[in-house]
């Protein structure tokens, strides 16, 4: 099947062809025709299946005729995170270049003034996170009565982040006669209840069993003590053919600490987590996409829906607290038919999380012996770091340590740059410690969480990050 067989306009087909696409994915082939027929739909699809284009493309043609009015958007797309909202906006710009449609992006972390100005002019497409949308609505800056079309994307993530009450309130303020689309990777009972309440005779589309992982991803788990995680990670980055990798941690502090240590040890690493402002988060993503850095340390804010081509490896430095997040994390690799590798570090206290993931995915995760990972090429790096003060040795602005990756002879990027620390501890440190104690068996940052409490961040805190 070709995109030309789906009933899209010639202008839209031209934009799709310019983007390099000819054949729709299964979710696109099944969702686009009923959306063009103005039907409500429920789309269940695993991450990386082209779900965004399955509603963006038909929406452009549906909205091609009509006129927007001030503060009354004609359509609304709800996204759980700022990054996903920005990515959907990029899709509208790419595919809607031959249409005269106006768009506004309402997300936290950026100036509200510019967003209000866009709304005052009137927009055809409004892409928003629930928190910022409700904020502007309560300020009287936006009216919902003219919205003809609603998309609730990543509904299960909305549930995890505590946004369902906001979604229900938003839906109650929209016209009763409208077209509604709901997309989710899984269909837990609260999402089923939401769809029953706000969708009318929806067409149910499922292109894969809920919560299945991409079969092109080589998955494995490695049992390791918390203090051994960093050494194991370095062995993987040095010896496993890593070209680009996303390393997921459960806590924002762990993301920061791990990124700083990787940079200090000569890796080209960046970070993204909920404590960063939106400008910094988007800048780090752009550095990763462009190849300026090839390792991205991330919290679950980067787990959902981000379309970054060519990610060869995903490493779960911490196993996710929610099994659904495992599916979305590893879905950052193996996209668009490519193959990928997903490795999860498992400690003694993680057995229940492994069981939950296996129950959700319906498969037994292959166990890999940690000894199968070759040690890092120069273990002396870690030994030297253990004797140094981490804060004093962090790369300063303008210094090397996080530049463009070195190139192999075949042109591919190496995980580390060429500014590695000396294999010997600096002489000045010897003079500062005339009677040094034996080097500790681990870096303190490796075991900051230990085997203690490993529960999730309370919802009332975590839900506010992307408002």
Give the pLDDT confidence of 288-331 residue by residue, as tens digits.
989 999 999 999 887 765 677 789 999 999 999 888 788 888 88
CA triplet 442, 240, 332: central angle to 5 degrees?
95
* pLDDT value, residue 208: 66
Nearest Cα residue to 329 out of 364, 355, 352, 296:
296
The confidence score (pLDDT) of residue 49 equals: 77
- Alpha-carbon radius of gyration of the chain: 24
Is pLDDT larger for residue 405 or for residue 194? 194
pLDDT for 442: 32
Lowest-pLDDT choice from 56-60, 124-128, 419-423 = 419-423
The pLDDT assigned to 408 comes to: 40
pLDDT higher at 235 or 453: 235
Whether pLDDT at 238 is above 80: yes
Distance CA 333, CA 214 (A): 9
* pLDDT score, position 305: 58
Q: Which tokens in the block code for residue 55?
A: 């509603």
Q: How far is CA 399 from the centre of its chain?
A: 29
- Between 292 and 420, the more confident residue is 292
Q: Which residue has the higher pLDDT, 447 or 188?
A: 188
Helix or strand (DSSP H, E) at 265: none
Residue 249 tokens read as: 């941690």
pLDDT at res. 243: 92
Domains 3-206 and 217-447 fall in the same CATH topology:
yes
Annotated domain spans of the chain: 3-206, 217-447
Following DSSP, what letter does each residue of 7-30 receive, concatenated?
T--HHHHHHHHHTT--S--HHHHH
* Rounded-to-integer distance, Cα 341 and Cα 135, Å: 41
Confidence category of residue 334, pLDDT binned at 50, 70, 90: confident
Alpha-carbon distance 310 to 49, whole Å?
Answer: 15
What does the pLDDT read at residue 40?
97
Band of residue 467 on the pLDDT scale cut at 50, 70, 90: very low
pLDDT at 448 over 80: no
pLDDT > 70: percent of the chain:
77
Q: What is the pLDDT of residues 338-347, one digit of tens each?
A: 788 999 999 9
Report how far Cα 85 is from the mean position of its chain's Cα atoms: 11
* Domain 217-447: which CATH number of 3.20.20.70, 3.40.50.10490, 3.40.50.300, 3.40.640.10: 3.40.50.300
- 84/304 Cα distance (integer angstroms): 7
Contacts of 80 (CB under 8 A, 6+ apart): 129, 130, 153, 154, 157, 158, 161, 163, 304, 466
Query: Tell me: the pLDDT tens digits for 246-276?
Result: 999 999 999 999 999 999 999 999 999 888 8
The pLDDT value given to residue 416:
52
Give the homologous superfamily in CATH for domain 3-206. P-loop containing nucleotide triphosphate hydrolases (3.40.50.300)
Sign of CA dihedral 64, 66, 72, 78: negative
pLDDT more than 90, % of the chain? 51
* pLDDT, the chain, mean: 80
Predicted pLDDT at 287: 92
Q: What is the DSSP letter of 3?
A: G
* Two structure tokens written together for 91: 């899709």
pLDDT in tens, 69-89: 888 999 999 999 888 898 899
Could you tell me the pLDDT band of residue 187, with boundaries at 50, 70 and 90? confident
Helix H or strand E segment including 328: helix 323-330
393 or 3, higher pLDDT? 3
Average pLDDT of 15-28? 91
Calculate the CA dihedral of residues 300, 305, 308, 312 and round it to 10 degrees.
70
d(C-alpha 422, C-alpha 393), whole Å: 13
Query: Please, which pLDDT band fits residue 387 given cuts at 50, 70 and 90?
Result: very low
| Per-residue pLDDT tens digits for 359-374 | 888 889 999 998 888 8
Is residue 321 within 8 A of residue 353, CB to CB? The reply is yes
CB count in 10 Å sphere of residue 61: 18
Per-residue pLDDT tens digits for 201-220: 999 999 865 555 667 889 99
Handedness of CA 258, 263, 267, 270 (dihedral sign): positive
DSSP string across 424-461: S--HHHHHH-SSPPPPPSS-GGGGSSTTS--PPPPHHH
User: What is the Cα–Cα distance from 168 to 194, expressed in whole angstroms?
Assistant: 8
Kindly tell me if the per-residue pLDDT of 232 is higher than 60.
Answer: yes
Residue 203 β-bridge partners: 41
The Cα–Cα gap between 345 and 362 comes to 20
Q: Which of residues 88 and 375 earns the better pLDDT score?
A: 88
Q: Which residues pair with 204 in a beta bridge?
A: 42
* pLDDT tens-place string over residues 104-115: 999 987 778 888
Angle at 56 between CA 55 and CA 60, to 5 degrees: 115
Predicted confidence at residue 310, as pLDDT, reads 83
pTM score of the predicted model? 0.59
């Amino acid at each position: 099947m070709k995109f030309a067989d789906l009933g899209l306009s010639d202008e839209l087909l031209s934009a799709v062809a310019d983007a390099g696409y000819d054949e729709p994915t299964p979710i696109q082939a099944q969702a686009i025709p009923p959306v063009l027929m103005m039907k409500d739909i429920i789309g269940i699809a695993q991450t990386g299946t082209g779900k965004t284009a399955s509603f963006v493309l038909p929406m452009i043609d549906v909205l091609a005729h009509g006129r927007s009015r001030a503060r009354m958007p004609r359509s609304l797309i709800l996204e759980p995170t700022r990054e996903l909202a920005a990515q959907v906006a990029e899709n509208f710009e790419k595919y809607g270049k031959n249409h005269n449609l106006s768009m506004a992006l309402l997300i936290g972390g950026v100036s509200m003034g510019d967003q209000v100005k866009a709304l005052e002019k009137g927009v055809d497409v409004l892409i928003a996170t629930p928190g910022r949308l409700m904020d502007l609505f309560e300020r009287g800056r936006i009216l919902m009565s003219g919205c003809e079309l609603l998309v609730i994307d990543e509904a299960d993530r909305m549930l995890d982040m505590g946004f369902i009450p906001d979604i229900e309130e938003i839906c109650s303020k929209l016209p009763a006669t409208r077209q509604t689309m709901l997309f989710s990777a899984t269909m837990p009972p609260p999402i089923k209840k939401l769809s029953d309440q706000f969708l009318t005779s929806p067409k149910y589309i499922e292109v894969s069993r809920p919560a299945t992982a991409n079969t092109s991803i080589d998955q494995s788990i490695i049992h390791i003590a918390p203090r051994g995680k960093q050494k194991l990670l370095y062995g993987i980055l040095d010896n496993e053919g890593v070209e680009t990798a996303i390393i997921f941690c459960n806590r924002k502090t762990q993301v920061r600490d791990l990124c700083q240590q990787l940079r200090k040890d000569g890796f080209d690493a960046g970070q993204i987590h909920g404590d960063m402002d939106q400008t910094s988060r988007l800048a780090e993503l752009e550095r990763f996409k462009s190849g300026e850095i090839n390792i991205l340390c991330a919290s679950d804010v980067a787990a959902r829906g981000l379309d970054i081509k060519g990610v060869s490896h995903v490493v779960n430095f911490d196993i996710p607290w929610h099994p659904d997040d495992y599916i979305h994390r590893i879905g950052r690799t193996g996209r668009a038919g490519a193959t990928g590798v997903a490795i999860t570090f498992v400690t003694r206290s993680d057995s229940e999380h492994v069981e939950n993931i296996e129950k959700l995915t319906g498969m037994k995760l292959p166990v890999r012996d940690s000894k199968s990972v070759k040690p890092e090429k120069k273990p002396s790096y870690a030994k030297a770091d253990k004797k140094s003060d981490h804060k004093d040795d962090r790369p300063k602005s303008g210094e090397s340590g996080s530049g463009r990756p070195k190139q192999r002879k075949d042109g591919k990027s190496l995980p580390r740059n060429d500014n590695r620390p000396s294999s010997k501890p600096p002489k000045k440190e010897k003079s500062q410690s005339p009677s040094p104690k034996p080097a500790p068996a681990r870096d303190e940052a490796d075991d900051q969480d230990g085997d203690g409490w490993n529960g999730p961040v309370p919802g009332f805190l975590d839900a506010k990050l992307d408002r």
